Structure 1
Amino acid sequence: MIRYAVVGAGWISQEAFLPGAAQSGNSRVAAIVTGDVGKAGRLASFHGIPDVVSYADYDALLASDRIDAVYVALPNSMHADYAIRAAKAGKHVMVEKPLACTLDEAEAMIAAARDGGVFLMTAYRLHNEPGTLALLEKVRSGAIGRPLFFQSVFGFQSAPGNHRLKAEHWGGPLQDLGVYCVNAARHVFAEEPVEAIAVRHQPADDPRFAEIEATVAATLRFPSGGIAQFIVSFGAAPIDAYRVVGTEGDIELDPGYRFETATRMRLRRDGRVEETPFERVDQFGGQIAYFSDCIVRGEPPVADGGEGLADMRALLAIEEAALTGRPVAIGTPARSRYASADMARSCPVTDHRLLI
């Protein structure tokens, strides 16, 4: 069993990671690192976690032999600090998306993992979700001909007070939701975007968006001629889907991104429609199982620090394009690895969770 410390006991840890770890089959949570020891103590008791430590005692935990890896689920502005400290202590690191707030931070995280001889994984749970991987395999097999363009919409109404609405944490729908669209498009085309254009909307009459935009629309251009367009919003009705249109057909995943629902694929070609519903799986359990497999086998994850950095380059280019109104070049080197069918993990869903 790979032993994880969960760094940050907020909603995503409570709702998804802590229940998912128990479903993984090869991992367990051995510690919670928190700013609220009382709340974390209740979570630890509920999940049978032996250790709760404060942020002040994080380095002592890292120096011990009580954990093998950490899962960093803190606001974006805190990712680099806690990941680098873990890597320097020889612990493997899984970090929520986006990887960091700046390219310098992301590169420092990658360097720390390399120098520490550990794996750094960006938490792309959909890389292990069977429906997502089935869509990618269909595209790569030529089921829709040559893929031409990618379209996506992803949005919901964000609750007031969420840290994702704060500029100091590099919050916003682009960073929180757009990262999924960027990542999906990159894997659909299996190449890196070269240019971004974008627009943004920041309503003056909604206090939630005093510091960030409510909606971002972006277009990415790929070397093969592929085009990806998406809209993400923190002020929209819930929506969650993407479609890839090719020279001979199109394929859609709807729902496509959220972990609370099962994915459903629709393929249209030659006047026929083929629908494939996928069983709902515990996406966090699958993600944890995959990373633990990588650790045990000594094989670096596909969603490594470089994967997170590639998405960050696109996000930062989109952000600049939206602010300036001008196209922005993206200089990401070609990558040799993308998500593939052998990465699929099907962990059963659980209702065993405690939300505080």
Structure 2
Amino acid sequence: MRINEKHTIKNPFSRRKFIFQVSRWGVGSIVLSTMTSLVSCGGTTSTEKADENKMKQKEGKKLGVALVGLGGYSGGQLAPALQETEHCYLAGIVTGSPDKIDEWKNKYKIPEGNIYDYENFDTIKDNPAIDIVYVVLPNSMHAEYTIRAAKAGKHVICEKPMAVTVEDCDRMISACKDAGKMLSIGYRLHFEPYNREMMRLGQEKVYGEIKKMVGENGMGSAGGWRLDKELAGGGPLMDVGIYCIQAMRYVTGMEPIAVSAKEGKKTQPDKYKEVEESLIWQMEFPGNLIAECKTSYSEGMNLLRAEAVNGWFELSPAYGYGGIQGETSEGKMDFEDVNQQALQMDDFAIAVKEERDTPVPGEMGKQDVKILQAIYRAMQTGERIEIT
């Protein structure tokens, strides 16, 4: 847990587990303490007892989550994570693949009445067992199903990128606000301890002003809808490059003011005829801070690095579902590996129950989409694009 004697890092997720417990019974404990005081003064009113019981029921209830889209991320990460969550559970599924239904229904004990397809999805409004809809579909479908979920009276988590246009983001935010429902984006790394430590080191300027940032995220291959521009909105920038954009924002605590970009050479032009195969870009931040970034569908890479006046700090690998490693100019970081998706979904469930803001709201997702679109304009025109 410790970098050195000077900089001691305590794992925030030991505390987070405690916070989850407190969120479950802490309010009730406060009420109980208040009741004890009232009893000593002559008793508690029936109204106060009713309010207390309602509070306990609200805090103790696990919220039902329906996954919309049963691809690799839902099956490999989200559904297993929902077996570990304390404040929400896998209550339903929405799929266009009938052949997947029996496997999911049997594996996760999902009631027949909580299984939907894309045709009858809107009837989910009549199902009180579903509190949250998690949209895990190709990028261009995020807006439609977020809006439909909100109109059905459900809170929404939408996978990144939030949408393929800023206009779609605005429609999603408005739909959730109009329905009085919360919207969160699936930025799991905000709940991961190594990335949270990068946020702390950067935003608190532990090593002084940051002078340079480096972000790299790529994988060796891609296929399916990710190569269809209409569905994906773009290539690796939309898929894995967005992690670098997010990281630059949350490490610095600032927003970029301009970008420039250049598309990489297409080694397989037939395969990547609709989207970029690779891309390098620069993000300019206030104070002459430059972030150098790159992404690819033909090269594996995974790095987040900050160079400051009095030292450096980095994660390598930085963006995976586990196995993240960190180091600073003073030594290694040491945090426990956590289930990022479980922490992310539990935090949203707590936010819904406590009626507090989510730390990863739709507005955050919209800003990323704005930056993504600016990078693509810079790539297409060869010009420096200011972000307003």
Q: Same fold (TM over 0.5)?
A: yes
Show the counterpart of 1:289.
346
Aligned partners of 2:202 and 2:253 also within 8 Å: no
Please list every run of 5 or more consecutive structure 2 residues that lacks an aligned counterpart in the other structure: 1-61
Match of residue 311 from structure 1? 368
Separation of aligned partners in 2, 1:171 and 1:42: 32
CA distance in 1, matches of 2:344, 2:310: 33
Secondary structure in structure 2 of the residue aligned to 1:243 = strand
Among 100, 104, 108, the residue aligned to 1:39? 100
Larger Rg: 2
2:86 corresponds, among 25, 45, 66, to: 25
Pairing of 1:213-252 with structure 2 (within 5 A): 213-236=276-299, 238-252=300-314
**Which residue number corresponds to residue 323 of structure 2?**
262
Report the equivalent of 1:334. none
SS in 1 for 2:317: coil
The offset of 1:204, in angstroms, is 5.6
1:224 and 1:87 map into 2 onto residues whose CA distance is: 40
Q: Does 1:9 align with 2:9?
A: no
- State how many pairs are aligned: 324
Deviations 1:157-210 (A, max 9, x none): 1233x2111111113111111111001101111111110100012516343212
Q: In the TM superposition, what whole-angstrom CA distance separates every residue of 1:42-91 from its partner, at most 9, and x where no partner exists? A: 12211222232111110011332220010000001100000001112221
Q: Is the 8 A contact 1:173 1:213 kept in 2?
A: yes
In structure 2, what is the Cα distance between the partners aligned to 1:130 and 1:3? 26
- Between the aligned partners of 1:59 and 1:41, the Cα distance in structure 2 is 22
2:288 alignment partner AA: G
Amino acid at match of 2:225: H
Deviations 1:279-323 (A, max 9, x none): 221111111111111111101112101000011111100010001
SS in 1 for 2:304: strand
Cα distance in structure 1, aligned partners of 2:81 and 2:264: 36
- The 5 A counterparts of 1:1-356 are 1-50=62-111, 51-160=114-223, 162-169=224-231, 170-203=233-266, 205-236=268-299, 238-259=300-321, 261-268=322-329, 273-331=330-388
Structure 1 residues 178 and 290: alpha-carbon distance in aligned structure 2, compared to 1, 3 A threshold: same
Q: Distance in 2 between matches of 1:279 and 1:253?
A: 14
Whether the aligned pair in 2 keeps the contact of 1:263 and 1:277 (CA below 8 Å) is no
Query: By percentage of residues, which structure has more helix?
Result: 2
Could you tell me whether the CA contact under 8 Å between 2:263 and 2:278 is conserved in 1? Answer: yes
Residues in 2 aligned to 1:142 and 1:300: alpha-carbon distance in whole angstroms: 26
- 8 Å Cα contact 2:235/2:277 also seen in 1: yes
Question: Retained in 2: the 8 A contact 1:121–1:304?
Answer: yes
Rounded to whole Å, the distance in 2 between the matches of 1:79 and 1:115 is 18
How far off is 1:41 after superposition?
2.5
Is the contact made by 1:199 and 1:325 (CA closer than 8 Å) also made in structure 2?
yes
Return the structure number with greater relative CO, CA threshold 8 A, min gap 6.
1
TM-score if structure 2 supplies the norm length? Answer: 0.81
More displaced stretch, 120-129 vs 199-208: 199-208
The SS at the match of 2:120 is helix
Structure 2 vs 1, CA of residues 230 and 42 (structure 1 numbering), >3 Å: closer, same or farther?
A: same
Identity %: 33
**Quick one: distance in 2 between partners of 1:95 and 1:132?**
21
Normalising by structure 1, we get a TM-score of 0.88
Amino acid at match of 2:381: T
1:21 CA drift (Å)? 1.1
